[in-house]
Each structure stands twice: as C-alpha cells, then as structure tokens.
Amino acid sequence: MKILFVCLGNICRSPMAECICRKIIAERQLDIEVDSAGIIGYHQGEQSDRRMRQAAFERGYHLSHASRPVKYSDFEDFDLIIGMDDSNIDALREKAPTSDALQKIKPMASFFSATIEIDHVPDPYYGGTQGFNYVIDLLEDACENLVNQLSISSI
C-alpha cells in the first residue's frame, strides 16, 4: 500500500500528514509507504515551512521532506492520493490521467472522526501559529483513522 498526501505547496499540510502517518506506521510495523507532493512546484526542493517545522517539533515530530510537485507517474505509483482541501481535490481530478487514477483520489476530511466540525484541512500559510497547531490536531486524527481503516481492510 502506497499513500500520497497532497496540498498546494507541499511545505505545510501534506509533509506534516506524511510525517504523522510515517510515525504511526513505524510504531505498528505496518507495510505502508507514504510520500507527499504539491499541486504547485513553486517551492520545489525547499524544506517545509519554518512555522510548520517548529509546531511539528513542539509536538515531537521531525519534518524532513523536500517539496516536490505532483507528477504524472504518481497516479500509477500510489494506491491512495489524499488531498487536503476541495481545491487540491479539484486540481488532482484535473490531472488524473485515467478513470482508475480518479478512483484513488480522496479528501483527507473523509478520514476525520465524527466529532470534527470542519470538512477540510485549512491552509495555514497566511495565518498564525494557532493555525499550524490546528492542522496538526486534524492530521493526527485523520492519520490515526486512515491507518486503522487500512489495517482492518488488509486482515
């Protein structure tokens, strides 16, 4: 199983999702691979946003991903392609080369617990520190549920 997390710039939300998921997968010794990418290539090669790395560090995570844009082969290589918001999902659907690829695209919010009252992972880029912490809260919840679902379906 290979999962690709996608946001706009691949410097805040999707590398954080990748990092959280990677930690859960390692703790449970599961055979799941994760990566992340951005809709835009503007930040290609850059490490994650300093504010995201700081918020991650304070919660016990180390972000080491270098930003890269989504590429054509991702739609072949990954089993699940998870977008952070509706705009990411729309852009992924436009890029998907086949109907098989379209089926792989899912919103991160589809893995939120029922108690969460928002339907996307909001872009923290133009906001303050609180926004980055909130993104981590949402992603921890979604990653836990996502990995649980995958573990159950592979039994």
**Which listed residue (35, 49, 85, 123) is catalytic?**
123
Minimum CB–partner distance for residue 100 and ligand 4NP (Å): 26
Distance separating alpha carbons of residues 14 and 35, to the nearest angstrom: 9
Longest Cα pair distance anywhere in the chain, in angstroms?
Answer: 42
Q: Closer to ligand 4NP by CB, 42 or 72: give it.
A: 42
Note if 35 is an active site residue.
no
**Residue closer to ligand 4NP (CB basis): 31 or 126:** 126
Whether residue 123 lies in the annotated active site? yes
Instruction: List phi, psi (to 5°) of 145.
Output: -65, -40
Residues that bind ligand 4NP (CB under 6 A): 7-13, 42, 123, 125
Sign of CA dihedral 9, 105, 35, 15: positive
86 is catalytic: no
The minimum distance between CB 31 and ligand 4NP, in angstroms, equals 28
Least distance CB 72 / ligand 4NP (angstroms): 20
For residue 62 the two structure tokens come to 């180390």
CB 136 within 8 A of CB 55: yes
Q: Mind telling me the catalytic residues?
A: 7, 13, 123
